[in-house]
Structure 1
Amino acid sequence: MSYKQLQQTYIWLIRIGLFGIPFLSLYISSGMLFPYITGRNFYFRIIVEAVFLLWIGLMILDNTYRPRSTKLLLAVFAFMVVVAAADFFGANPYRSFFSNYERMEGYLMILHLGMLFMVLTSVFKSRTEWLWYFCSIVSASVFIAVYALFQKFGVFQSLQGGVRVDGTIGNPAYLAAYLMMTGFLSLFLFLEFKKYQFRYAFLLVSVFELMIIYFTATRGVTVALLGGGPLFLVLYLFLVPSETEAGRLLKKISVVALLTTIVVPIAIYLAKDTKFVITNPTLSRLTQISLSDQTIRSRFMIWGMAWQAVKERPVLGWGQENFNIVFSKFYNPKLFDQEPWFDRSHDIIFDWMVNAGIVGLISYLMLYGMALVILWQAWRRGRIYPTEAILFFVAFACYFVQDLFVFDNMNTYYIFFGMLAYINSYEPAEPSDPKSVLRGSREHARSLSLAIPKSLSIVIALGLLMAVFAYVLNVKPLRQSQALISALRMNAQGANPADILSAFKFALSYNSLGNSETREQLAQFAIAAYGNSAVPDDLKRAISSYAVGEIEKQVILSHGDVKYRLFLASLYMRFADTNPDYIQKAELTLLEGMKESPTKQPLLFTLAQYYYNTGQGEKALEISQRAADLAPGYMDAQANLTMIALYLGRKDIAEQAMKKVEEAGDNDHLRGNAYRRLNYPKIIGALQKTGDYAKIVVYYKWLANSEPNNIQHHVGLAYSLAKTGDREGAKAEARKAAELDPKNYGPQVDQFIQFLDSGKELP
């Protein structure tokens, strides 16, 4: 192979790899856990590693492909170094480096993004290459947007259900952020292909993807675009000269567009209480932006927790993927009505301050800063069209603003770093010394005969080394994910529990980044198997013992993450019959968990249940009271306190707690009734042991009115009314149950009424 042939082989293989990356966002790995995340991330890493290796060979073959020392390159390198230090000295370096299946980020993501940036900025030498690369990104986005459109019309189903579309990205917010970035690239291509009529296709793509963003009903991206649109138009009107008649006409159109982008959103917001907006699922969601909104309220509380974490470790933070530890340690008990576990602060500023401290945040912001400096310098030197510079400035601004409400993922990360690499191409090259160039060319000519074997030998040597790392970092966790899915499918299909246990053991034998999620699924299987009467006792013991052992390992590896301690304590309590040591271990595990997260209510609930089950009623009452006091409006906590107090005969405490249960239901307009339907039956069960049927009647009446088609509510109310002496009311409720299901309840109701008519007392 000649020198030129090898050079072109390197270049074309690198191009193929780079142009293939955008289409990974179309790939859904159904045979892996988190199919919208894991598969595409593994293949992203593999492709980046391959093109990086080829680039090293190309760079050795031809030194013109070596990276130039630029402000942005140094900023990317500094960012990578700072994050590496933060992860190494963080709370859990292993998790910070490897991440998990659900996120697939950690330092491995940062490392691969840095590698991608190096390859892009070194290999793409011409504007044509950049345009084709951006065309590949936009082409992939069109397929994803069309898929989302089919979801809107019901051809395909959205992963999260409802009216919001998520495409092949798997999340409406992620899809909106992705399409926002590709929409800007489409506008850029529209501006670039000025001499070609097909350029209007890119304009149509931008409009089409804007429509899909609307269908996602994502408020963060909407806010970003509502600010970005007017910002672009204002900068265009004041900074771009209009020397031609067409230019002046475009300015006039821009003025109209500016007014439209301001007036229309304001008008829709002012009309948020009208039928037109309320009945439109997308507009109703987009106009529900207020400090009292449940999601926004929770964000402020989470940001407060993040700030507490930053104050404790301000310089380099806690390391990536360790917000779960922050969430446990600084948990705000008023978050009871949100999902139980958060692993992100949902704000790019707080995320990076928690991940890598103030130093890490500064290094991240320097990526934006250096990109904007290069854009500004290129504009002043006349090396970039003003409209293009404004477009990229607004794109970066919108990307940053939407990141204030959500977090990044591979689908947006690679586009962001691709934009940075493109902006880096505007950095002027340092002038070369003619003598050194001549000397270098002579040396290059003399060494040309050695360049090919040198390049190939280094590529082969590094390739073998990288293959080992690729197997450990990519292939093993990929196969572990597939093995886990195989175990879960066997479980779903009702396979032999012994075979399922073997499948879980096989998945864990890979000992990779998926261990934590594999162990969680193993524990769920063990709980189900333990409650299955068809499973032999010796097999139950084997399954439960293995599951407990694996979760114990996970607790050690996840110090500070109280979720696994709570999980382990629940297993100890569930499997206490199989091992007498589990009783004491459960208490110790819960007490250790309370040290790590003293305000996490589910932890306190479990500890109270433990004390009650082991005959330590006063301790159970004390812990239940503590959980209820943390957030008086938390109905679950008040209901648990009510039950414990009633079981212990403390009617004074129970009465106060029951009153707070009712107040909590009245105050929570969104979930009050749902909380009542969940907790009232629990309270009724406790009241039945005290014989307070007058109070039971009150709760059953509410339940019967709330769910009139629930037969059990009418049956329970009928019995309770009879116990209070209201036999006629009891008969009426019993007849309602018979009307709902005459075949099964008719004869029983007749017997019940005959019994009441006999005048006998109910048992």
Structure 2
Amino acid sequence: MQRNSASFVVLTTGLLLLLFFPLVVTNSLFFPFVLGRSLFFRLLVEFLFLVWFFLFLKKKVSLSGLSSPIFYALSAFLTVVFFADIVSPDRAASFLSSYERMEGFITYLHLFVLFVVAASALASRQLWQRMLLVSVGVSAFVSFAEVLKLFAGGAVVERLDGPFGNAAYFATYLLFHIFFIALLIWRARQEGLLVKRHRPFALLLLLALEIFVLYKTATRGALLALLIGALVTFFIWLIMRRAGKRKFVLVGAVFLIALSLAVGSAIFLKHADPVESRTLSRFQELVQGRISDSPRFMVWRTAWQGVLARPILGWGQESFPLVFERFYNPKLSLQESWFDRAHNSFLDWAVSAGFLGALAFLLLLLSPFFILWRKKEGEYVFSLAERTIFTGLLSAYFINILFVFDTLAGLIPLFLFLSYLSSQSSPEVLGWGLSRGSQRVLRAAVLFLVAAGVVFHVRAAVAGRLLTLSITPPEITPVLGRSAFFNRALSWTPFDKGRVRQEIAEFAVAVSRNQTVEEKEKRALFELGVREVSKEALRHPRVVKNFIFLGDLFRAYSEKDLAIVFLSHAKELSPSRKNIRKALGDIYMEEKKFAEAAQEYGALYELESRFDVSDPAYTFYIDNAMADYLAALILSGQSEKAEELVKSRFDGELWARPEVINAYAAVGEYGKVIALWKKLVEEAPGNSQNFFSLAAAYAKAGFLSEAISVLQDVAKRHPAVKEDAYFYIEAIMTGKKLPI
């Protein structure tokens, strides 16, 4: 390729522009950290491909990168993923993804195109050097901005998340650039490739800055990855420098010191008191907890069950929610209601594309090692600095993705990095010769595809903007004609109508009790939500979420019978979902169907009881479920069963909860009400309200002298409520009804 041609300048300028992708945050669009950045990436790649394609037809573009092991591994990986998506239960989501993720096969197709285009352009090491400097410059800018936010923002920042809105994504981006900076430092010292303003000292300061920012993301996997990657780099450097016996002793000493520090830190954190540092506290949570009961490992077990269910080609991309529902673990409810990733890239690909996909992904990650350490004509293609640092980078990346799923934050640097390695591994080859007829067909096809891509992504941008306007809270924008905005968003969106429908349902529920919204507007939103979510439920009859949304809609608008119908169907699809049991129990209580409520609350209590009762983190949820269950049992005439349950858990002791006390009061069992309030008075004598409640219970049971005695006692103990106490004493003595 002619380096001074206008087309080459456009191509390289576009690649340099792509490096600014972290700065693209579109607050005016739905999912501001995802949608705008993804559209920027895709549209820019489509433009670059168009330029590259016409250069290819003129045989002015290098195809050297398309004959490397990386290219073959990437092609094999995408082929497996393509067929996995073809057999996916939800092909539309597998190919086009969702607004929240903006991945799917379409994104990996764009990444493949980026690889091809960049592999052609990055045959020039000078351009790679320029891109490296620009990318490091962008990372320096965002890192410095985060430090300013940390020290000058005024607000408490627990974890830095950069322009990605997620600390783990930001950490992955930083991980790449820490190794890129290390390469620049090495070159600055050994090869003198950098100009004066990029001397090693300035780069060392930048390296320290980005390591500090990475630490403040409190991302455990990325920090572990950095440590391992740095050790790998150090060991390879010593070995490749043909270190003598003394240096190998040093290697062993460093390794033992690092291992000792790691083990010692784990022991210290396990037995230490809670620490203030957010990063250290996250490591402390890890070592003090039981690994098998951590949310990450529970999700991994769920993912593994999904892999075994469809082991060859998996479920297709974006299908993890189906696996999550089918093999739902109720213990995960304390973390998130819905998981759409396994948070382990290898497991995610095993779920998405089966064992074939996971193996192809592994081969893709191993192929760069083969290129880095292969010799041509007795010489390494890459310098010692590149071989050493890039091996450390790949090792770090490998460790990092064991704990996260990858996004554009890591995928764009990864594919540009792979394209550079690929471009240097083979001799330069110009485009193939094609007949004029073939060129015309290809030209028309490419123009059509690019035009279709532009239309698709413009429609997505418009829909994203309309959806953002549609869900604006009524406190900010009056809810007037909001259903029309939602309808326009539905008509514009070229994919993921399910998300738009979900937002309609959630917004309709949110405004159902808002007194500032006109009933006509509420009704329009309700009808639109029911209509659209019903369409989604018919399209995806196994997706539990749709029936929960319908149940919530009907409940919010007082159509309880229909709410019960849809929530009961959701329960059949996912019997272990606690939120469904809770919602059904609450509706039955509102409808005074206490026996049915007891059945649902009983199932909820059984699900909650799977947790460790002695763990304070879980006791809150277990107690709440038990209180609801006891109240429903009492109200349905099953007081004996309620008492047996209390005795079995609390060894015969009374258990005073407002739900239980109110239930006993509702059925007229004031003897038990009195006993429970007496227990609360004994346990919390500093709470004057407990005394008033006990007095009211005595009065309602006809024990007036006891009620007066309690009120006199509270007047002595709490002088601040003395006047109220004597007011109620007078009311009792004159036969008036107590207002308590």
1:719 aligns with 693
1:502 aligns with 484
CA spacing shift, 1:703–1:333, aligned 2, 3 Å:
farther
2:626 aligns with 638
1:667 aligns with none
CA spacing shift, 1:462–1:280, aligned 2, 3 Å:
closer
Shift of 1:612: 4.9
2:187 and 2:385 in contact (8 A); partners too: no
CA spacing shift, 1:348–1:753, aligned 2, 3 Å:
farther
Cα distance in 1 between the residues matched to 2:513 and 2:697: 35
Shift of 1:92: 1.1
Shift of 1:564: 1.9
2:269 and 2:288 in contact (8 A); partners too: no
> Letter of the aligned partner of 2:677 in structure 1?
V
TM-score with structure 2 setting the length: 0.85
> Letter of the aligned partner of 1:333 in structure 2?
P
> Letter of the aligned partner of 2:347 in structure 1?
F
Shift of 1:211: 0.8
Cα distance in 2 between the residues matched to 1:383 and 1:609: 69
> Letter of the aligned partner of 1:648 in structure 2?
S
Which structure 1 segments of 5+ residues have no match? 664-675, 740-744
- 1:62-120 Cα shifts (integer Å, max 9, x gaps): 25423532221111111111111111211211111222222111112211111111111
> Letter of the aligned partner of 2:566 in structure 1?
T
Residue of 143, 156, 162 corresponding to 1:167? 162
> Letter of the aligned partner of 2:234 in structure 1?
L
Residue of 275, 279, 283 corresponding to 1:282? 279
2:168 and 2:217 in contact (8 A); partners too: yes
Residue of 322, 326, 338 corresponding to 1:325? 322
Shift of 1:352: 0.9
2:210 aligns with 209
The 5 Å alignment of 1:430-441 reads none
1:268 and 1:277 in contact (8 A); partners too: no
> Letter of the aligned partner of 2:472 in structure 1?
R
- 1:184-218 Cα shifts (integer Å, max 9, x gaps): 11112222333145241333322211111111111
Shift of 1:168: 1.4
2:481 and 2:521 in contact (8 A); partners too: no
CA spacing shift, 1:337–1:178, aligned 2, 3 Å:
same
> Letter of the aligned partner of 2:203 in structure 1?
F
Residue of 397, 400, 415 corresponding to 1:399? 397
2:701 aligns with none
> Letter of the aligned partner of 2:727 in structure 1?
Q
Cα distance in 2 between the residues matched to 1:359 and 1:34: 32
Cα distance in 2 between the residues matched to 1:12 and 1:80: 30
Question: Helix, strand or coil for the counterpart of 1:400?
Answer: helix
2:178 and 2:211 in contact (8 A); partners too: yes
2:460 and 2:492 in contact (8 A); partners too: yes
Question: Helix, strand or coil for the counterpart of 2:480?
Answer: helix
> Letter of the aligned partner of 1:164 in structure 2?
R
Which structure 2 segments of 5+ residues have no match? 612-620, 699-705
Residue of 377, 401, 422 corresponding to 2:374? 377
Cα distance in 2 between the residues matched to 1:415 and 1:719: 65
Taking only the aligned residue pairs, the percentage that are identical comes to 27
- 1:451-482 Cα shifts (integer Å, max 9, x gaps): 9x979x9768734541232222x111211111
Cα distance in 1 between the residues matched to 2:308 and 2:593: 39
2:461 aligns with 478
Cα distance in 2 between the residues matched to 1:525 and 1:549: 14
2:728 and 2:738 in contact (8 A); partners too: no
Question: Helix, strand or coil for the counterpart of 1:278?
Answer: coil
TM-score with structure 1 setting the length: 0.83
1:192 aligns with 187
The 5 Å alignment of 1:84-163 reads 84-155=82-153, 162-163=157-158
1:668 aligns with none
Instruction: Say yes or no: does 1:523 pair with 2:505.
Output: yes
Cα distance in 1 between the residues matched to 2:132 and 2:732: 80
Tell me whether 602-611 or 393-402 shows the greater mean CA deviation: 602-611
Shift of 1:490: 6.0
2:523 aligns with 541
Tell me whether 358-367 or 333-342 shows the greater mean CA deviation: 333-342
> Letter of the aligned partner of 2:455 in structure 1?
Y
> Letter of the aligned partner of 1:720 in structure 2?
L
Instruction: Let me know the Cα RMSD of the aligned residues.
Output: 3.7
The 5 Å alignment of 1:247-396 reads 261-272=258-269, 278-290=275-287, 292=289, 297-378=294-375, 381-396=379-394
1:568 and 1:589 in contact (8 A); partners too: yes
Cα distance in 1 between the residues matched to 2:122 and 2:595: 72
1:85 and 1:316 in contact (8 A); partners too: yes
Shift of 1:251: 8.6
CA spacing shift, 1:381–1:637, aligned 2, 3 Å:
farther
**Aligned residue pairs: how many?**
707
2:615 aligns with none
Residue of 451, 469, 474 corresponding to 2:453? 469
CA spacing shift, 1:503–1:63, aligned 2, 3 Å:
same
> Letter of the aligned partner of 1:304 in structure 2?
R
> Letter of the aligned partner of 2:88 in structure 1?
G
Residue of 421, 424, 432 corresponding to 2:422? 424
- 1:118-155 Cα shifts (integer Å, max 9, x gaps): 11112222111111112222111111111111222142
2:583 aligns with 606
Shift of 1:684: 4.7
Cα distance in 1 between the residues matched to 2:477 and 2:215: 43
1:742 aligns with none
Tell me whether 624-633 or 53-62 shows the greater mean CA deviation: 624-633
Question: Helix, strand or coil for the counterpart of 2:380?
Answer: coil
Cα distance in 2 between the residues matched to 1:59 and 1:480: 35
- 1:487-539 Cα shifts (integer Å, max 9, x gaps): 233623251x3322222222222133353333223223322433234545444
Cα distance in 1 between the residues matched to 2:682 and 2:415: 57
2:185 and 2:203 in contact (8 A); partners too: yes
> Letter of the aligned partner of 1:504 in structure 2?
F
Cα distance in 2 between the residues matched to 1:141 and 1:154: 19
Shift of 1:413: 0.8
> Letter of the aligned partner of 1:288 in structure 2?
E
- 1:14-39 Cα shifts (integer Å, max 9, x gaps): 21211112212122211122212221
2:614 aligns with none
CA spacing shift, 1:294–1:250, aligned 2, 3 Å:
closer
> Letter of the aligned partner of 2:628 in structure 1?
N
- 1:534-565 Cα shifts (integer Å, max 9, x gaps): 54544433321111111112223344321221
Shift of 1:322: 1.4
CA spacing shift, 1:115–1:624, aligned 2, 3 Å:
same
